[in-house]
Amino acid sequence: MDLDKREIRVRTQRQRVRGEAYEDDPKGRRRKQTLPLPALCVAPLRWERLRQAALREAAGDKWEDTGYVFTTRTGRPIEPRNLYRSFTRVAGTAGLRVIRLHDARHGCATLLTAAGVPPRVVMEILGHSQIAVTMNIYAHVVQDTQREAVSHLDRMLKRQRPDRA
């Protein structure tokens, strides 16, 4: 993570399958990709670094330097189940509907698409290998955006039409 440049590179992914937690390379294009971070993420990530430094000092010899951004009190990776529990707690406290963590990824892509970000850019951020994958998942948002664009065109053309007497 380079917070000054607002960039992050995902080198590994951690997941639990059939009760077994393991690390693997990120799939698809994300393997080699550096992603930009939204500015609103920088301060919380800096805070997390400070928190982790305090945890490292408190743990002493028990600290395991794993390189993860978010860790337990001893530096180990967070259990996926515990991450989800924290996620649901934070969502509930904020008054938000609880969703799967993966749905947060879909939410990000939907917001980018609805904001008019070109599908190719959304594809690159998500790490999809083909634009068809992105378009198949988010086509409804593109259609809604297209409808909104045509509505703008309607409003502009109505203003330009001469009045008939």
pLDDT digits (tens, 9 = 90+) for 135-164: 887 766 667 777 777 888 888 888 766 665
Show the domain range for 33.
Answer: 1-98
Assess whether 61 and 28 both reside in one domain: yes
Assess whether 115 and 72 both reside in one domain: no
Assess whether 21 and 82 both reside in one domain: yes
Assess whether 106 and 48 both reside in one domain: no
Q: What is the pLDDT of residues 88-136, one digit of tens each?
A: 999 999 999 999 988 888 888 888 887 888 888 988 888 888 888 888 8
Assess whether 28 and 108 both reside in one domain: no
Assess whether 93 and 56 both reside in one domain: yes
Assess whether 129 and 72 both reside in one domain: no
Last residue of some domain: 47, 72, 98?
98
Assess whether 79 and 24 both reside in one domain: yes
- Overall number of domains in the chain: 2
**Rounded-to-integer distance, Cα 10 and Cα 29, Å:** 11
Query: Is 69 strand, coil or helix?
Result: coil
Assess whether 5 and 54 both reside in one domain: yes
Asked if pLDDT for residue 22 goes beyond 60, the answer is yes
Assess whether 94 and 111 both reside in one domain: no
Query: Is 3 strand, coil or helix?
Result: coil
Assess whether 156 and 117 both reside in one domain: yes
Asked if pLDDT for residue 10 goes beyond 70, the answer is yes
H runs (alpha helix) in the chain: 39-59, 80-93, 101-114, 119-126, 131-160
Assess whether 82 and 161 both reside in one domain: no
